[in-house]
C-alpha cells in the first residue's frame, strides 16, 4: 500500500511539472491567446525574384547557374521564363561567332579589340590539338611542370629545359615538363615560326599546341584545354605546377615541400601567391582593365597566374566544375572562380614571389634556396640561379 502511494505521488508530481512547462511555453509563444488569434505573415518573400545583372559575364553566369540547378531548371516551364533566362536560347559550347554580344553589351563598339575578340567567342571551349605528346606520361610522373608559353619564346623554353624544368629524375622523383601553346596569328604581327616550332617539338617532344589565337585574354582557353589534356594524357601525375615562361622555379623546393605534406593536405592542395579582396581594374590603360559592362562584383581569392601548385585530385575537380563557370578573360581569376564554385580555396605560400623580391636580395644565391617561385626572370637569370642552387659548396646557414 505504501509503495502504491509513492508511485501515485511520483505520477502526480511529473504531471504537474509538465503542465507548468506547457503553460510557460504557451505564454511566451502566444498560444495562451488561442491558435486562431493571429496569423503571422512573412514580411518578405522566401524566394527573391531573379533579375538580370547588367554585367555581361555575371548574366552568363546567372544563366549557367540556372541551367545547372536540377530543381529550378527541371521544374520551370519555358513559357514562364523571362527572355533573359531562357536557357534554350543560349549555347555554352558553340564555337560559332556569337554576334548577340554586339547588342547585349551596351558599350561593345567602344571596347578595345581584345575584348571584342574574346566576347565573340566566349562560349567556345574546344579547339583542335595541333601538336600532342600522347606518351609523355606513359610512366606517370610525380610532378608535372606545365609552362604557358608562346611560339616566339624559344629562348625562354630552352632556358627552362636547361634549368628548373629539366625532365627526368630530380631528387629521386620523376618530373615531366611540357609547354602549352596556342597559335601565333599573322594579325598579331608575329613572324612565321611554324617550321622552327615543328623542329623544336620533334627534337624535345615537350610541346602541346592547340589551334586557337594565343593572346592574353585567351589564356583562360589555354587553362580549360590544359585541364582536359591532363585527364586524357596525364591523369596519373601526382602534382601539377602551372606557370609562366618568365619565372624561376626552385624545383628542389617544390619537391621538398610536397614531401612534408600529409595525405589529407595533399588531396586538396592548391598553393601560390594568393590575392584576396581584389576586383577588376577600371582604368583602360591597365592590362587587366575590365569594364562594368562586362563584370560587376569582387573576385574570389585566387593565386597569381605567375605560377601555382596543385594536386591531381584538385585538377580533376577543376576539370569537372569548369563547364559550370562562364569563361572570364583573366585566367588566374577564372581559376579562382572555379575553385570557389568547387568549394575549394587557394592557400597562400610565402615561397611564391610573383611580384619579385627586393633588389638587394636578387644577387644572393641563398635567397632562392628557400623560395619556390620568383617572377620575373630572364632566360639568362634562370640558368644563373639554377647553377647557384646546384653548387656543392653553397652554404646558406
Q: Where are the beta strands (DSSP E) in the chain?
A: 129-131, 143-148, 168-170, 173-183, 207-213, 239-244, 248-249, 270-275, 302-311, 347-348, 352-353, 373-374
Q: Does the pLDDT at position 35 exceed 50? A: no
Task: Tell me the pLDDT tens digit for each residue of 378-387.
Answer: 999 999 999 9
Mean pLDDT of 58-71: 89
Q: pLDDT band for position 37 (50/70/90)?
A: low
Q: What is the pLDDT of residue 290?
A: 97
What SS3 state is found at 248? strand
> Can you say whether the dihedral through the CA atoms of 223, 224, 230, 232 is positive or negative?
negative
- What rounded mean pLDDT belongs to the chain? 89
Task: Tell me the pLDDT tens digit for each residue of 330-379.
Answer: 999 999 999 999 999 999 999 999 999 999 999 999 999 999 999 999 99
- Indicate the burial class of 310 (C-beta count within 10 angstroms; 0-12, 13-18, 19 or more): buried
Q: What is the pLDDT of residue 188?
A: 81
Q: Does the pLDDT at position 69 exceed 90? A: no
Q: Does the pLDDT at position 66 exceed 70? A: yes
Q: Shortest CA distance to 149 belongs to which of 186, 184, 195, 114? A: 184
Task: Tell me the pLDDT tens digit for each residue of 295-306.
Answer: 999 999 999 999
Taken in order of first residue, the domains within the chain and their CATH numbers are 56-120 (no CATH), 129-389 (3.90.550.50)
Q: Are 136 and 206 in contact (CB under 8 A)?
A: yes
Q: What is the pLDDT of residue 77?
A: 54
**pTM (global) more than 0.75:** yes
Amino acid at each position: 500500500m505504501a509503495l502504491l502511494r509513492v508511485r501515485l505521488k511520483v505520477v502526480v508530481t511529473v504531471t504537474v511539472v509538465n503542465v507548468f512547462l506547457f503553460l510557460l511555453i504557451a505564454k511566451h509563444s502566444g498560444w495562451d491567446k488561442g491558435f486562431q488569434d493571429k496569423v503571422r505573415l512573412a514580411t518578405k518573400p522566401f524566394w527573391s525574384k531573379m533579375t538580370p545583372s547588367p554585367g555581361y559575364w555575371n548574366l552568363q553566369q546567372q544563366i549557367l547557374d540556372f541551367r545547372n540547378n536540377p530543381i529550378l531548371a527541371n521544374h520551370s516551364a519555358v513559357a514562364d521564363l523571362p527572355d533573359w533566362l531562357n536557357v534554350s536560347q543560349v549555347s555554352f559550347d558553340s564555337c560559332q561567332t556569337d554576334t548577340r554580344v554586339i547588342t547585349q553589351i551596351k558599350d561593345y563598339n567602344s571596347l578595345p579589340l581584345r575584348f571584342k575578340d574574346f566576347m565573340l567567342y566566349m562560349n567556345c571551349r574546344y579547339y583542335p590539338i595541333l601538336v600532342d605528346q600522347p606518351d609523355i606520361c606513359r610512366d606517370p610522373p610525380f610532378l608535372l611542370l606545365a609552362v604557358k608559353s608562346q611560339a616566339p619564346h624559344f629562348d625562354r623554353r630552352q632556358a627552362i629545359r636547361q634549368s628548373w624544368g629539366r625532365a627526368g629524375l630530380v631528387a629521386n622523383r620523376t618530373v615531366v615538363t611540357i609547354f602549352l601553346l596556342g597559335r601565333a596569328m599573322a594579325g598579331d604581327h608575329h613572324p612565321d615560326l611554324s617550321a622552327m616550332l615543328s623542329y623544336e617539338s620533334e627534337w624535345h617532344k615537350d610541346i602541346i599546341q592547340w589551334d586557337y589565337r594565343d593572346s592574353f585574354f585567351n589564356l583562360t582557353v589555354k587553362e580549360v584545354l590544359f585541364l582536359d589534356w591532363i585527364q586524357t594524357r596525364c591523369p596519373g601525375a601526382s602534382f601539377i605546377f602551372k606557370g609562366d615562361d618568365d619565372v624561376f622555379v626552385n624545383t628542389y623546393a617544390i619537391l621538398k615541400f610536397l614531401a612534408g605534406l600529409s595525405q589529407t593536405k595533399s588531396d586538396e592542395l592548391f598553393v601560390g601567391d594568393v590575392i584576396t579582396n581584389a576586383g577588376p581594374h577600371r582604368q583602360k590603360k591597365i592590362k587587366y582593365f575590365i569594364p562594368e559592362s562586362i563584370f560587376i562584383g569582387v573576385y574570389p581569392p585566387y593565386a597569381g597566374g605567375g605560377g601555382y601548385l596543385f594536386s591531381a585530385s584538385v585538377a580533376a575537380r577543376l576539370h569537372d566544375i569548369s563547364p559550370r563557370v562562364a569563361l572570364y578573360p583573366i585566367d588566374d581569376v577564372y581559376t579562382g572562380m572555379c575553385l570557389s564554385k568547387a568549394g575549394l580555396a587557394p592557400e597562400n605560400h610565402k615561397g611564391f614571389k610573383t611580384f619579385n623580391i627586393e633588389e638587394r636580395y636578387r644577387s644572393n644565391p641563398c635567397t632562392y634556396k628557400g623560395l619556390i617561385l620568383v617572377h620575373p626572370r630572364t632566360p639568362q637569370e634562370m640558368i644563373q640561379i639554377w647553377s647557384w642552387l646546384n653548387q656543392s659548396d653553397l652554404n646558406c646557414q
